Amino acid sequence: MKTINKCGAQGDCVFRRVDRVPEGFARQERRGPVVAAHSETGHHHAIDDTGVVQYASPDPLKCYLVLEGAEHADVVHYRSFDTHETVRLLGGIGSVWEVRRQREWEPEGWRRVED
């Protein structure tokens, strides 16, 4: 398991610890694991820890995670093959993590990185 204290990546997602959730992001109602990023191949970047709250953005390539009742959050995959190593987001209760999907440039323009 990799641990991230300030900034790191897992596949096509970049996790960066920030000071706060910006204005305009809505707290999401939790039903099961928090999916920090959906994958086109079915191995979503998910968090089971119940003390983590997700804030969604109008931008589908960005969200925020707040550790409201957890010292850390483990980002895992639910597929038995072709997965990424689990990543532990550190920072303690109250820490805020920005999650961004990576993009890449092609001659046709920008596209989301597929993992």
Nearest Cα neighbor of 89 from 38, 36, 33, 41 is 36
pLDDT at position 18 is: 97
Asked whether the predicted pLDDT for residue 2 surpasses 80, the reply is yes
Please, are residues 101 and 9 in contact by the beta-carbon 8 Å criterion?
A: no
Q: What is the pLDDT of residue 108?
A: 75
Instruction: Calculate the alpha carbon distances from 63 to 35, 43, 79, 80, 106 in Å.
Output: 10, 18, 23, 26, 24
pLDDT digits (tens, 9 = 90+) for 46-103: 898 889 999 998 887 899 999 999 899 999 877 666 677 889 999 999 999 999 886 5
Mean of the pLDDT values across residues 2-8? 93
Is residue 114 a contact partner of residue 103, using CB atoms and an 8 Å limit?
no
Residue 20 has pLDDT above 80, yes or no: yes
pLDDT value at position 41? 63
Whole-prediction pTM: 0.84
**3-state SS, residue 101:** strand
